[in-house]
Structure 1
Amino acid sequence: MSEAARALLHRLERLRTSVAALVAARSADDPTAGDPLRGLYISPETATRIVNAPAPQLPAPDGPFTPEPGDRLTAVAAGFGLTVLDELILLAALAPDVDRRFEQLYGYLNDDVGRRRASVALALELAGTGSYDPVARGRLHPAAPLVDGGLIVVEDEDRPLPGRALRVPERVVAHLLGDDTLDGQLGDARVELLAPVPGDESATADGLAARIAHSPRPVAVHLRERRAGSGADAVTAALRGAGRPVLHHRPERAEAATARLLLREARLRGAGTAVVVELPQDQPGPYVRELAAGDVTVVFAGTEPYDPGWAPDAGLLALEDTAAETAPLAAWSEELPSYEGDLADAVGPYRLGAGQVRRAARGARALAGFEGVPVGLGHVQKSARLLSAPLLDKHARRVRPAVGFGDLVLPDEPLALLHELAGRARHRDRVLGEWRLRTGGGRGRGVVALFAGDSGTGKTLAAEVVAGELGLDLYVVDLSSVVDKYVGETEKNLERIFSEADRTDSVLLFDEADAVFGKRSEVKSSHDRYANLESAYLLQRLEAFDGIAVLTTNLRANIDEAFTRRLDLVVDFPFPDVELRATLWRACLAGVPQEAGLEAELDACAKEFELAGGAVRSAAVTAGYLAAGRGSPVTAEDVRTGARREYVKSGRLVPGVGAAWTP
């Protein structure tokens, strides 16, 4: 038996003495005391006795009570601000939940064998007062600590207060008996109990998080994060490093009922327990008001700005998250000390907080252990990508990159610019953050590039290559789900995309970007004015963008010059010359069985047919299907047939033929 259970039973034995005295007093002048049907009906004699009986006066137990070691009721009273009267009421209410003998005794004292819990009148009588005492009745008011704190539930709302039953939730009874298991209702609500990790100095590195963790008194803080979860993770780590348990809540919806359960759990566990909440975006006002009680350290973290209307009287501190201002390379190095290679280069594209880094590193180690190999670049990228995957599927199509720079056939200049684009994405935190090369005006740390060139020159492929090089997913924005005929809806859809891309790690691709990033025009009608408003919104949003975006266009001249000024890089994709076209043909057919002497034919096709890379690939696919249909290797005629069909598709004259060739 635990010390807590032993101490509680000692208290209940003391209560049983009071109950026995009350039973003796009731039965002494009760003519129906021996009636086996007592409590099932009220006889005239019983009614007369009730009318003539004086008001009950039972003194409280004599002498001061000295709690035994492990007594949790005293600690609960301190944590919830209970009075001595509150303690006695709580003890009387929970007695049947621990010792079933009280059920029968309470049934007798309630004059109803079916009512085996303490009524309000009975609990107050056992506490030495009665339901005639306004102060005693006030201890069961909805705003009183016993009820408001969730320690007691006053049932039977249709009855008068003295006859209402008192119930103690099972979580409270279990805690008083020594059970520290998390409330099952909180587990269902996505609450995690995190034990303290004292002595973890790395967890308290961030100054703001350390100040919250070591505050001499409970504080309520709203922490606005640059990235979802980064600030919450930093504060959680700091609190645990300071030796404090943390209740970490990631609610799908912010409900006041869950906040009350959280507050009760924190108070039951003691003054050092803190609550860290990753706030959702759906009207968290009632939740915040309920949880910001002032006697428990509570940190509300979220990307949305603080709204004073949430809890105007709570005295919340509105602070900005500083944990994401610098790249957490130290946390990566600490978690992966044996990583072979340039760790800074591998993790540069990921903007994760310290806590997220630790989870990603654990995932990378587990994945490498499963494969039986040392932790490598692929393990780190896969684990980090899972933590930072955006939720853009409604407005964008996800592409898991499966190509690299070896698959690109481009001149040296655009190839070098693509490498520079990947480098900018990796090192932006160092250059714009540590080296302070970011301009003012609220400009973000985003990397935005424009890929310009004719159709089929490799712009989309290049975006996929850059994403694959960075270990990120590519999201191709679906313009049909973004552009809306109603005024203002297009901007709302774009804002959802930009906001999600800001908070997570991915490469955003706006294919055919001139549809939304086109030039502004002179206002001649209301349509022109609203179109210009859309462009103005995009100009402002690009300034504050924190993610990685690629715009592609076939006509660079259609892009507004104001957008061009905000671009980090402009990469021109030239139409391939003869040498590049020959290389493209060989690259597309590299894995295909070929007849002898096909190399010379590929050089001839490169000279005769002026095709871009996309058209060359389509022609190679056609040649492959023709060969597969015959069950033989690809021949020169297959290649020429594919090239001619691409000419016909574009409406061009086939070389060596007087008119458009028809297959």
Structure 2
Amino acid sequence: MTEPGFDSNDRYLVLSLAWLRLLLRRVAQRRGPVVTSALPEAVVPVTRSRRWWQGQGEPAVAPVLAAPVVPPSALDAEIAEAARRIEEAAATDLPELESLRRVFGLTEFERNVLLLCAAPELDTGIGALLEASYGCPRPSFAMAMDLFDDAAWDARSPQRPLRYWQLVTTVGEPMSTGAGLRIDERILHAIKGLHHLDARLATAMEPIPPGDDLPGSQQEVADAAVELIARAANSGELPVVQLVGTYAPDRTAVAAAIANALRLELYRMRISALAAVPVGEIDTIARLWHRETLLVPRALLFDDDGTDELATLRQSRAMFVRRSGGLVLSSAPDLSPDLPAPTVSMEVGRPTGPEQHELWVRALGSADRARVGMLAEQFRLDGPEIARVVAYTDLPADPDAATRALQTAARRSLRPRLEKLASRVRPVATWDTLVLPENELDQLHQIAEQVAHRSTVYAQWGFGARMNRGLGINALFAGESGTGKTMAAEVLANALGLDLYRIDLSGVVDKYVGETPKHVRTIFDWGEAGEAILFFDECDAIFGKRSEVKDAHDRYANIEIDYLLQRMETYRGLAILATNMRDAVDRAFLRRLRFVVNFPFPSQTDRERMWRIAFPADTPVGSLDYERLARISLTGAAITDAALGAAFRAAAHGGEIGMGDVLAAARDQLRKQNRPINEADFRIEQGVPA
């Protein structure tokens, strides 16, 4: 029978402390009389009624130092009886101290040393008894060897459990048997049945909750990993499971599902956290984590959070994994070859098209509230992301309007990720403002049609199942500067309702080997999530011809080009590459492009059309000779700049835009480009202001 709220572990501790007090009392009697007036009364480790203990026939928790001297034989009998009751309590329900003994392989003497170190923290009277018996309130190995039977010198060894697992630490000189011993705080709480994460680990690790149900394709990955881990556990050697994929939350969700299926608590440690740990302390941190996995069923997820110092931290991570224990998972976009063997890899993909369709329907509550098929085709989002987009959007009743609102919300949620390495362009150009020859204009319309109807052709008509290459669309825009390549990209973005990103080559091309593919991969991955149009200006800087291999730099440069060619093929969105020098682009790359659109220097007819649409409707324009202006050899971009310059000239003299303003602005454009000027083209007729 136990008192309500007083569990079996508490009862075991009270009995153990009572036994320990009897042992100390015997030592005190052996060494001489004790002055009790200066000694405090012993305190029970938890506040409980003494009447309950006395009512059960247990030894009363009285001030043991004030008790009369008992003959040695009688005291020995009390000690034996107390030991019997401890053994009886341990047989009914395994107490925490006995559990620690089994987990860490402690001998009976080492278990008793641990009890002796915990006792002053659990019972304030123990310190006084130690002072009375040994002249010091702090336990030591010397006291333990005198107090307990079966004392063993090797318990002090750094390789024995007490010190190896840091169950106890020494106060002062560790080589001295008289040095004070202090129980580790985490172990003290474990003896009381409280299992929190060690405070030294809590700053670098965070708990990962089980999470929601996974889409079917991701659940298959989790199930395969669980089956593999279960088989490996039978052999006694757990592999490091590398979860590889584009999107970190997907990898984390699969890791959480694996841990949940194995009934393990999952903690995540970002690799960047190792930057604050000196190399000499990696072993200590790893050993503390290993200790945690022995105390509580726990698993660790090492998360590659994209830190720039990853290369310098790989050695520390590998050392940590080698020195730690339990199940270790790794989350990264690519395989990590530095992890110690054995390792296995599992690829975690984004939810499939049908799964995303189901996730959108679940979040919306009905497939009729929006064009779910269009949303599932355009975006690559997981369940929590889709739920957030729907929750944060005020949906109109009209399905088309609701779809547009959801598209806008989804794009906004994805923009911050892409804008680290790319600049978003607000598209303003339309088909009406784009002037190109008929053949080139037709190619652009084909691009728009293929992007808009990919779902029908690939998914509904079955072409996607017969293709082993990427289902995206890529195009090369080739032509000299100012011929309309960027404007054409804006027109496509406007017509398709997609975000347009101009890739900042200065942020992509890196002087360090291997960094360029990493940056470009990130751009493609996040662009794919929102089906953004990626516009690589002056792409020959990255996608140029492969060079002859003369040194290591040439070899790595060619490897980067090969990687980029492959990534272009697998991109699911629209990628546009622009170059002023088509001949500078690698031929192997040209063969893999679906469209190559040439942007010629505009003809006179095209230049006349450009001049006619160069001025907005609200601009005060006088009588202009567009045919004459078309004879001036300017590109479309230069004509736009000239129209703007003419507008400022007219605003300065307070009149409408006349031929003199336009001709002067056009002359400025030719001078800026260092091109020859035919003065006959700029002669102002009499009466027309210059």
Asked if TM exceeds 0.5, the reply is yes
After superposition, the Cα gap between the structure-2 partners of 1:240 and 1:346, relative to the gap in structure 1 and judged at 3 Å, is: same
Q: Which residue of 2 aligns with 1:62?
A: 84
Q: Is the 8 A contact 1:517 1:559 kept in 2?
A: yes
Quote how far apart the aligned CAs of 1:243 are. Answer: 6.1
1:163 aligns with 2:178: yes
Q: 1:276 maps to which residue? A: 301
Cross-structure match for 1:43: none
**Partners in 1 of 2:363 and 2:6 — Cα distance?**
45
Distance in 2 separating the partners of 1:572 and 1:107: 94
SS in 1 for 2:527: coil
One of 468, 471, 482 as aligned partner of 1:456? 482
Q: 1:120 aligns with which of 106, 119, 141?
A: 141
After superposition, the Cα gap between the structure-2 partners of 1:233 and 1:71, relative to the gap in structure 1 and judged at 3 Å, is same
Equivalence for 2:240: 221
What residue number does 1:361 align with?
A: 386
Deviation per CA, 1:202-237: give whole Å up to 9, x if none. Answer: 478532311334654754333251425243432323
Write the mapping of 1:139-288 to structure 2, written as runs, cut at 5 A: 141-142=158-159, 144=161, 146-149=162-165, 152-156=167-171, 158-160=173-175, 162-174=177-189, 176-177=191-192, 179=194, 182-195=197-210, 200=213, 202=215, 205-213=218-226, 216=230, 218=233, 219-227=238-246, 229=248, 230-240=250-260, 244-254=264-274, 256=282, 257-270=284-297, 273-279=298-304, 281-282=310-311, 283-284=313-314, 287-288=317-318
Shift of 1:158: 2.6
| 1:44 counterpart residue number | none
Matches within 5 A, 1:20-35: 20-30=21-31, 33-34=34-35
Q: 2:589 corresponds to which residue?
A: 563
Match of 1:554 in 2: 580
Shift of the 297–613 alpha-carbon distance from structure 1 to 2, 3 Å rule, reads same
Deviations 1:139-178 (A, max 9, x none): xx4463x55445x142346332533444344344445545
Residues 609 and 583 from structure 1, CA distance in 2 versus in 1: closer, same or farther, beyond 3 angstroms? Answer: same
Is contact 2:500-2:535 (8 Å) kept? no
Q: Deviations over 1:107-148 (max 9, x none)?
A: 5455235xx3x3334456666442x443x446xx4463x554
One-letter code of the match for 1:66? Answer: A
- TM superposition shift of 1:377: 0.7
- The code of the aligned residue for 2:442 comes to E
Show CA shifts across 1:362-392 (max 9, x none): 4424542699996611111222344x54864
Contact 2:478 2:578 in 1 (8 A): yes
Q: In structure 1, give the amino acid aligned to 2:559.
A: Y
Distance 2:217 2:510 in 1: 46
Contact 2:476 2:597 in 1 (8 A): yes
Q: Distance in 2 between matches of 1:520 and 1:295?
A: 46
Question: Is 1:594 the counterpart of 2:613 in the alignment?
Answer: no
What per-residue deviation string (whole Å, max 9, x for no partner) do you get for residues 620-641 of structure 1?
Answer: 3323433554677766654444
1:540 aligns with 2:562: yes
- CA pair 519-250 structure 1, distance change in 2 beyond 3 A: closer
Residues 143 and 6 of structure 1, relative CA distance in 2, 3 Å threshold: same
Contact 1:648 1:660 in 2 (8 A): no
Conserved? CA contact 2:287–2:324, under 8 Å: no
1:621 and 2:644 correspond: yes
**Structure 1 partner of 2:331:** 301
Aligned to 1:395: none
The verdict on how the C-alpha distance between 1:482 and 1:300 changes in structure 2, with shifts beyond 3 A counting, is closer
Residue 513 of structure 1 aligns with which residue? 539
Asked if 2 retains the 8 angstrom alpha-carbon contact of 1:277 and 1:299, the reply is yes
Tell me which residue corresponds to 2:57: none
Partner of 1:45: none
The CA deviation at 1:182 is 4.9
RMSD: 4.9
**Structure 2 CA distance for aligned equivalents of residues 341 and 534 of structure 1:** 47
TM-score (norm 1): 0.73
1:502–1:381 Cα change, 3 Å? closer
Corresponding position of 2:503 = 475
Please tell me whether the aligned partners of residues 196 and 243 of structure 1 are also in contact (alpha carbons under 8 angstroms): no
Q: Tell me which of 659, 665, 668 is aligned to 1:645.
A: 668
Listed as ranges, the matches of 1:66-85 within 5 Å are 66=89, 72-73=96-97
Higher helix share: 2
Structure-1 residue corresponding to 2:17: 16
Q: Does 1:95 align with 2:119?
A: yes
C-alpha contact 2:117 2:183 (8 A) present in aligned 1: yes
Write the letter of the residue equivalent to 1:94.
A
- Matches of 1:79 and 1:428 in 2, distance apart? 60
- Contact persistence 1:247–1:274 (CA under 8 A): yes
User: What SS is found at the alignment partner of 2:84?
Assistant: coil
Gaps of 5+ in 1: 39-56, 393-397
CA 1:658–1:249 in structure 2 vs 1: closer, same or farther (change >3 Å)? closer
- What letter matches 2:255 in structure 1? V
Provide the rounded CA distance (Å) in 1 between the counterparts of 2:428 and 2:190.
58
User: Which residue identity lines up with residue 251 of structure 2 in the other structure?
Assistant: G
**2:424 equivalent to 1:400:** yes
Could you tell me how far apart the structure 2 residues matched to 1:511 and 1:629 are? 35
The separation in 1 between residues aligned to 2:457 and 2:164, in whole angstroms, is: 50
Provide, for residues 308-363 of structure 1, a one-character-per-residue CA deviation record: whole Å limited to 9, x for no partner. x6434xxx3412315359555256436533575444544546556xxxx2342244
Report if aligned partners of 2:256, 2:266 keep a CA contact under 8 Å in 1.
yes
Contact 2:141–2:181 (8 Å) recurs in 1: yes
Match for 1:96: what amino acid?
P
Q: 1:458 to 1:204 in 2, by over 3 A?
A: closer
Q: Which residue of the partner structure matches residue 323 of structure 1?
A: 349
Instruction: Give, as a single letter, the amino acid of the residue that structure 2 aligns with 1:620.
Output: A
Deviation at 1:452, TM superposition (A): 0.4
The answer to whether the 8 Å contact 2:540/2:585 transfers is yes
Q: Distance in 2 between matches of 1:385 and 1:629?
A: 40
Alpha-carbon spacing, 1:202–1:553, altered in 2? closer, same or farther (3 Å) = closer
Mapped partners of 1:467, 1:153: distance in 2: 66
Give identity over the alignment, percent: 21
Q: Specify whether residues 429 and 602 from structure 1 end up closer, same or farther in structure 2 by C-alpha distance, changes over 3 A only.
A: farther
Q: Does the C-alpha gap of structure 1 residues 645 and 188 become closer, same or farther in structure 2, counting only changes over 3 Å?
A: same
What is the identity, as a one-letter code, of the residue corresponding to 2:178? Answer: G
- Count how many residue pairs are aligned between Structure 1 and Structure 2: 601
- Residues 624 and 658, structure 2, Cα contact 8 Å, conserved in 1: no
1:511-564 deviation line (CA, Å, top 9, x unaligned):
32334544568x7xx98x899757743542234325575432123233332331
| CA-to-aligned-CA distance 1:51-92 (integer Å, 9 cap, x gap) | xxxxxx987923424358795555555665666655544443
Per the TM alignment, residue 477 of structure 1 is displaced from its structure 2 partner at its CA by 0.8
1:52 aligned partner:
none
Relative to structure 1, is the Cα distance of residues 492 and 445 closer, same or farther in structure 2, using a 3 angstrom cutoff? farther
Summarize the Cα distance change of 1:160–1:612 in structure 2 as closer, same or farther, 3 Å threshold.
same
Deviation at 1:603, TM superposition (A): 4.8
Q: Is the 8 A contact 1:203 1:238 kept in 2?
A: no
Deviation at 1:103, TM superposition (A): 3.9
Measure the CA separation in 2 of the matches of 1:391 and 1:429. 32
Could you tell me how far 1:414 is from its partner in structure 2?
3.7
Taking structure 1 as reference, are residues 399 and 310 closer, same or farther at Cα in structure 2, changes over 3 Å only? closer
Aligned to 2:67: none
Change in CA separation of 1:109 and 1:474 when aligned onto 2, cut-off 3 Å: farther
Is this contact kept in 1: 2:114–2:168, CA < 8 A?
no
Please give the per-residue CA displacement for 1:273-331, whole angstroms capped at 9, x wherever unaligned: 43322246444455455446897333223234353x6434xxx3412315359555256
Corresponding residue of 1:42: none
SS of 1:155's equivalent in the other structure is strand
Distance 1:299 1:156 in 2: 37
Match of 1:435 in 2: 465
